Amino acid sequence: MTQEFNLQPDPRILPMLGEINLAQWRCLAELVDNSIDGFLHAERQGLAVPNPEIEITLPVQDTPSARVSIQDNGPGMKAEILEKAVSAGWSGNNPIDTLGMFGMGFNIATARLGGITTVWTSVEGDPEDHGLCIDFEELRRQRNFRVPHLTRPKADPLSHGTSVIIERLKPEQRAWLVKVNNRGQVKKELSRAYSAMLRPGGVPISFSLGLNGNKVPATNHCVWNEDRFVDNAKFGPVHAVQRIDQKLADRPFCVECWQWLAATDEVCPACGKDKDVVKRKRHVHGWIGVQRYQSETNYGIDFIRNGRKIEIGNRDLFSWRDPNTDLEELEYPIDDPRHRGRIVGEVHLDHARVTYMKDRFDRTDPAWADMIGIVRGEGPLQPQKAANLGYSNNTSPLYKLFQVFRRPAPHNARIAGGWASILAVQDNDRAEEMVRSFNDGDAAYQTDEKWWELIQAVDNALLTPVGPGTPPSGGSGATDDPEDAPSPAPLPGFSGGTPPTPPDPTPGPRRPVVPPPPPPREPLADLTRLYLHESTGMRWDVKAFNVRANDQALGGKKVPWNSRTLPEGATEVYLNLNHPIFRSATMTPLDGVLVELAHKTADYTRGMPNAPIFSTILADLRDRYAGHLKLDPVALANGATLLFRSIARTLPATLGPTDDAAQLFAEFPSTEQEAIQRKMAARGVLNSSQIISTGRFLGFATPRIVTEFVLRRPDLFFDGKCWDSVYSDIDYPYPSATQEARASLLRQYEAMLQDALWLADQDPADIGRATRERLLRAALAVELLEPAGNEGDSAEPGPTPEDAHE
């Protein structure tokens, strides 16, 4: 006896799909995906739609008649295709080359938003539109899924496209959509999700997306230009943007089961069919690069499938999972106390599986593991740890970026070129503020020149001595001498002398007096910016200049700065950086600008209701624009810890042929030897004798042990080895004088080392309770103790390949 069961779902299943928790922008994205699939299909058929466009219309008033519509100028559909396209779980949907995958997105999205969905579509040349209306209440009443085939005449037979209209919106959806901020959030999310296709030359296509008549722009990453690079000893020039373009061999794939097969399989082992097995292309492409600013939130890699971003700002590749222990360790960012990062990217994985919500790639898909090998490589990113575990020759894009750009600040910020060597802006708050202009489309901020100017300004400040008697770069003569007068001209006939100009023998009116050219003014890029005082609403578009003491703009010989407002609204601030006020330990050129603006703001708002006083305005401005000058306890503690690592790294290179590193280690007290060995064991060192014999054992010592070792063996750290101060070459005729001079130098460094050690040993909360003077002293000690010319890696020293067993 043959018996059949009718498993046709109840019509109530469709509205139940609307209970799936799908964000509003994702509902709209499902419908946008369908339009994009239409564009892609036409292009593959050689019938690409010129100027493809999609327009979304959302309600602006909370009324019962409110509706949502999505309309495109795509190729449209024939009636029989329309019927399948809106059917839940349509098996004919192509899961490989399209954004739609399971045939459920349309039904989930429309049911989530409202109770009635009408679709109209037509192809070019048809005299009428074809349509259908899905009314969930009507389907429940009639107990089946049959709906009328609607038609309507077309005004233009050559028109084509599809429109989806959702009505009888759910009250909660209607109330959410009419809010301006929520519509703005929808626009932002769509801008990010489709950014790869909203740009000119988009991948795989370009199209225009509108929301309530306004164009949705692409969200672009603010990265350093591709031609920016830093020379690395191992890799040579490492560019700030690394391109990825890796094609893998085609591989069998079962469209029915959504499974990769073995390279030789012709029949799917899961379903036993061969008709659904296809050879599928595998191509990992895109880029990763370095942002022009550090951020606690805005960094990570975007992963894309067929043009739509599935994961945005993902950081999975920044952690290392040990295959033996399955333990995961964060590797980036680890050098910044605030955990700010700046590595970003866009990687296309069109052949990889994603979840039905389209919010995550399937980590069990072999395609994901293939991508990790291409973008990140095998093994840890930390070079010493990778070598210790036997991983070598990693030349992946992420590995290169990590080696060169991982640090938020250079090892030695007092050496010119340090910030350029890692392409980082010293004042990160300023760098972040400039990103707003980039995001607003300001043409001047689309290239990285503005950020590069800030880096150059820091280098110029380090290369150009500042103090009395030093003119702006490129100039000469004017000084801060009390008289501030130019030197008298030499007498005629002597070297450098110029004979006086003879009187003009030509009768007639006297020649006009030509005023001398104005003295040189040096633009200060790091101080030139838009300043805003929020509580008063005052805005100052400042252009700052370093000028000579006799510049007319200062209006007086003893004035350290002055300003004037130009007719077009900009404010020019003139600073004499050679003025004695800037020789102060606490007064910086930035403070001069902020004081001037605070004075102008207080003067302008005087008499207004609730106008803040000068001191309040100045405090507000310093809080906003001088954040990098704050004595941050976390940053201070981290900087001190990194300092001792830097000092330890200098030892192996300073050992001479007669120095026995093993004997140096043997001179440590047993408790210190044990502490160092325990640290080696914790970091996975398998051959500690190799570490000890090369002098790298100090890299595993605590800051206190490093300090005591430096004081015991100063000859290994002075005379250009770690610090430039002369120690061994100090030589007086009397040995006692030589001994006293060396002891005096050592006492000076011991005091600074103890200050730095205090920072490294303290909890940030305890540092925050210290006096300002104590913090200033310790911070200056860390800065002064930075090894000369230190360019090493910031990671804690570890083993090399010779230290690891096979």
Regarding whether 145 and 283 lie in a shared domain, the answer is no
Please check whether residue 200 lies inside any domain of the structure: yes
Cα separation, 97 vs 280, in Å, equals 10
**How, if at all, do strands 538-546 and 571-575 pair?**
parallel
Regarding whether 247 and 126 lie in a shared domain, the answer is no
Q: Which residues of 328-358 are buried (b: 16+ CB within 10 A; e: fewer)?
A: eeebbbbbbbeebbbbbbbbbbbbbbbeeeb
CB 290 within 8 A of CB 282: no
Q: Give the residue from 626, 645, 670 where a domain finishes.
A: 626
Regarding whether 707 and 617 lie in a shared domain, the answer is no
Regarding whether 358 and 261 lie in a shared domain, the answer is yes
Residue 726 burial (C-beta neighbours within 10 Å; 0-12, 13-18, 19+): middle
Please check whether residue 6 lies inside any domain of the structure: no
Residue 674 burial (C-beta neighbours within 10 Å; 0-12, 13-18, 19+): exposed
Please check whether residue 8 lies inside any domain of the structure: no
Regarding whether 786 and 674 lie in a shared domain, the answer is yes
Look up residue 97 and give its two tokens: 């080359």
Regarding whether 540 and 404 lie in a shared domain, the answer is no
Q: Give the residue from 182, 215, 248 where a domain finishes.
A: 215
Q: What integer pLDDT is reported at residue 390 of this predicted model? A: 84
Regarding whether 211 and 70 lie in a shared domain, the answer is yes
Amino acid at 416: A
**How, if at all, do strands 161-169 and 150-153 pair?**
unpaired
Cα separation, 67 vs 678, in Å, equals 68
Give the count of domains, the chain. 4
Amino acid at 250: D
Q: What integer pLDDT is reported at residue 135 of this predicted model? A: 92
Q: What is the pTM of this model?
A: 0.75
Please check whether residue 491 lies inside any domain of the structure: no
Regarding whether 380 and 302 lie in a shared domain, the answer is yes
Sign of the CA dihedral with 29 first, then 34, 39, and 45 last? positive
CB 169 within 8 A of CB 68: yes
Regarding whether 686 and 622 lie in a shared domain, the answer is no
Range of the domain at 84: 13-215
Regarding whether 587 and 571 lie in a shared domain, the answer is yes
Q: What integer pLDDT is reported at residue 562 of this predicted model? A: 93
Mean pLDDT per 10-residue run, the chain (806 residues)? 64 74 93 93 91 97 96 93 76 61 74 94 93 90 87 92 96 96 96 96 95 96 96 92 95 82 84 84 96 96 96 96 85 87 96 88 92 95 83 93 92 81 92 92 94 90 60 48 40 38 49 61 89 91 91 82 89 92 85 94 89 93 85 86 90 82 91 91 81 89 94 92 90 91 94 94 87 88 80 41 34
End-to-end CA distance of the chain: 67
| Separation in Å, CA 247 to CA 254, 259, 351, 377 | 20, 20, 11, 16
Regarding whether 681 and 664 lie in a shared domain, the answer is yes
Q: What integer pLDDT is reported at residue 212 of this predicted model? A: 97
Cα separation, 612 vs 174, in Å, equals 43
Q: What integer pLDDT is reported at residue 103 of this predicted model? A: 58
Please check whether residue 450 lies inside any domain of the structure: no
Domain with 24 in it: what CATH number? 3.30.565.10
**How, if at all, do strands 341-349 and 300-305 pair?**
parallel
Say whether 627 sits in a helix, a strand or coil: helix
Please check whether residue 425 lies inside any domain of the structure: no
Cα separation, 543 vs 93, in Å, equals 59
Q: Give the residue from 597, 626, 655 where a domain finishes.
A: 626
The dihedral over CA atoms of 235, 238, 241, 243, expressed in degrees to the nearest 10, equals -30
* DSSP designation for 24: H
Please check whether residue 423 lies inside any domain of the structure: no
Regarding whether 530 and 386 lie in a shared domain, the answer is no
Alpha helices in 424-577 (DSSP H): 428-439, 449-463
Cα separation, 37 vs 98, in Å, equals 6
Please check whether residue 349 lies inside any domain of the structure: yes
